[in-house]
Amino acid sequence: MGARRLTAGRGRGQGFGRSTYRLLLRIANGALRPLSGVAYRFATLAYAAYLCRGLPGASAYVRGSVGHGQPLYGVSDIDLVAVLDGEGRERVRRRMERAARLPGRLGALIEWPSLFERERLEALAGQSALTTGEAIYAPGGDPDEVRLLERPGVDGATAGWRLVRGADRLPSPAAPPEHVAAWLELQYWWRTACEGCMHAERLGAAALCVKLAAEPAGLWLRLARGERPAARAAALEAAARELPGEAQALERMLRVQRDLPRLPEPPLHEALALLLRLSQLIAAELRSRAERFTEVRLVRAEPTQARFWWNAELPWPEPEWRPLADFRALCGRPLPDEVVGAIDADPSDPEQLALLARGLRDLGGYAEIRAGEIAVRPSAHGRARLRAVQCALSDPVSFATGDVALFPELAGWSARDVATRAVTEHSAWLAAGPHEPNDETLGKLGTAARAAAFLQSIESGEPALATGISPLFDDAARAAYPYPPADVVRAFEQAVRDLPAYRS
């Protein structure tokens, strides 16, 4: 599901009645499928040539359903990646802006391309948002690189790219540790599921249902059985053999897959229920790999700011809020002291997920639905990144039952790795200062102080983590928050810069 379509907001089938457009799509994926393939290939090659024209050494790749050879013509997006030899980014961006004016259906089927410099792509190979040694969320960071690192792929981010123009000089595909790559991939599909529930009327909803079943099935097969199905149908078939209790549901999705050219009604509820159960199996499999844990003492804190509230139109009572202390919260993006609250809802109900994702879209609070080994946090777009689903390994603080959180000794999830990543991000943010002396800056300084204190406690042999940022404020900042005078912010910023983690 493309988040950056060039002509965002244009409805699929604009200019046609929905029934007429549905009929055209069935024809395009039925009797005229070979001709549709030729049209897609021509559009892909033409767009790649347009982006790379006059740029020596530039290459273009197509990825997604079109790259994998499993498109639903008229619905699947043309998702291109341009790889450049260190120059031409601005020229390509200007061309992209002009391409955004493409009329009607053609513009609606073209994704905004991702741009990478070849050297940077080589440097990012095998990295992820959780394991990289770089600050990727610093001011001026590259959003394409961030997206790649937040979904690095279980076979490497470039494994599914197919060359359509230029010379193929990609680095060899390399993936981060398997548990990290698998969980980040699952995060992506839960985020996509929430967005799909918000737009269940789209003609590609049935294809999404197949993906929500087949992709986690493939992840589980890889983790638990060492199998690597080459296609979604193969993943569904293999999972049905290995999981007899899920065979009926998986075979149902297999029938939907075979019927996609006829645009069947989307079984979204069934797909979400299957995604939920497979996610629980994946979380259990990953937990079995964690043999050692670090006990981290939790310093409990109340939320510090009133940037969150409950949408009174939602049909659930307002939950009891607690501050988040997951990877994003420790890295201080996008806001300090975001909160989460448990509610009694059904994570396999598309209407409930859509209600929560829409109702809390612009607020600071997340609704959390516990389901066995996992917690689903219905949200969409940027709010869902790295948070749509969590487990005890990926967010130990939220799953802690007392005043001790168990951080697994696994790359990217260990206490030391998380603290080091957070300090790296805040070091880059501090280096970009001084910052505007306001409440947001003071809050982010609190998250920077929390990261530094967490790392220092680990190095001292007594790991401790504040669940919120208020314990990290000095007396003046605590008394002034959330409306601090400029001199208080400046003084606290200097105090944070003087912490040992940032002096070095």
Q: What φ, ψ does residue 131 adopt, rounded to 5°?
A: -120, -10
Residue 323, phi then psi, degrees to nearest 5? -70, 145
CA distance 104 to 477: 53
Beta bridge partners of 84: 117
On whether both 29 and 109 belong to a single domain, the answer is yes
Residue type, 381: H
CATH number at residue 67: 3.30.460
Asked whether residue 158 falls in the same domain as residue 203, the answer is no
Residue for token digits 């105090």? 495
Domain boundary among 289, 315, 332: 289
Q: In this prediction, what percent of the chain has a pLDDT beyond 70?
A: 93
Residues 23 and 130 in one domain: yes
The pTM of the full predicted model, rounded to 2 decimals, is 0.93
Collapsing DSSP to helix, strand or coil, 110 comes out as: strand
Take residue 406 and report the two structure tokens written for it. 């168990």
Indicate whether 137 belongs to any domain.
yes
Specify if 403 maps to a domain: no
Same domain, 227 and 283: yes
Residues 426 and 320 in one domain: no
The sign of the torsion formed by the CA atoms of 295, 396, 398, 328 equals: positive
- The domain tally of the chain equals 4
CA separation for the pair 420, 415 (Å, rounded): 8
Determine, yes or no, domain membership for 400: no
pLDDT in tens, 45-92: 998 999 899 898 899 999 988 887 778 888 888 899 999 987 788 888
* Token pair 């939907």 in the structure block, residue: 256
Q: Would 490 be classed as within a structural domain?
A: yes
Inside any domain, residue 54: yes
Report the C-alpha gap between 207 and 232 in whole angstroms.
11
* The amino acid at 126: G
- Kindly state whether residues 336 and 355 are assigned to the same domain: yes
Asked if residue 315 and residue 361 are part of one domain, the reply reads yes
Q: Cα separation of 248 and 258, whole Å?
A: 15
CA nearest 327: which of 140, 121, 125, 150? 150
With 0-12 / 13-18 / 19 or more C-beta atoms within 10 angstroms meaning exposed / middle / buried, residue 98 is exposed
Other beta carbons within 10 angstroms of residue 14's beta carbon come to 12
Range of the domain at 230: 181-289
64 and 155 both lie in a single domain: yes
| End-to-end Cα separation, the chain, in angstroms | 43
Same domain (yes/no): 89, 146:
yes
- Residue where a domain terminates, one of 289, 314, 342: 289
Is 126 a member of any domain? Answer: yes
Strand partners, 82: 60, 115
Same domain as 469, residue 337: no
Query: Taking a C-beta distance cutoff of 8 angstroms, is the pair 450, 466 a contact?
Result: yes
Largest CA distance in the chain: 73
DSSP string, 180-223: HHHHHHHHHHHHHHHHHHHTTTSTTHHHHHHHHHHHHHHHHIII
Give CA–CA dist 405/391, Å, rounded.
Answer: 13
DSSP 397: H
Of 289, 322, 338, the position where a domain reaches its end is 289
- DSSP secondary structure letter of residue 79: E
Residue 81 inside a domain? The answer is yes
Separation between Cα atoms, residue 423 and residue 447, nearest integer Å: 10
Residue 408 DSSP SS3:
strand
Cα distances from 424 to residues 179, 237, 489, in angstroms, run 22, 44, 21
Ordered per-residue pLDDT tens for the chain, 504 residues: 444 544 443 344 444 556 776 777 888 888 888 888 898 899 899 989 998 998 988 999 999 888 877 788 888 888 999 999 877 888 888 888 877 666 554 556 777 889 999 999 999 999 999 999 999 998 888 999 999 999 999 999 899 899 999 999 888 889 999 999 999 999 999 999 999 999 998 888 999 999 999 999 999 999 999 999 989 999 999 999 999 999 999 999 999 999 988 889 999 999 999 999 999 999 999 999 999 999 999 999 888 765 567 888 999 999 999 999 999 999 876 677 789 999 999 999 999 999 999 999 877 789 999 999 999 999 988 889 999 999 999 999 999 999 999 999 999 999 999 999 999 999 999 999 889 999 889 989 999 999 999 999 999 999 999 999 989 998 998 888 888 999 999 999 999 999 999 987
Q: Kindly report, residue by residue over 116-133, the tens digit of the pLDDT.
A: 999 999 999 999 999 999
Task: Specify whether the CB–CB gap between 322 and 340 falls below 8 A.
Answer: yes
**Angle, CA of 52, 56 and 62, to the nearest 5°:** 35
**Are residues 278 and 225 part of one domain?**
yes
Sheet holding 114-117, edge to edge: 114-117, 79-84, 59-63, 162-165
Token pair recorded at residue 135? 């600050």
- H or E element: which one contains 396? helix 396-399
Same domain, 250 and 341: no
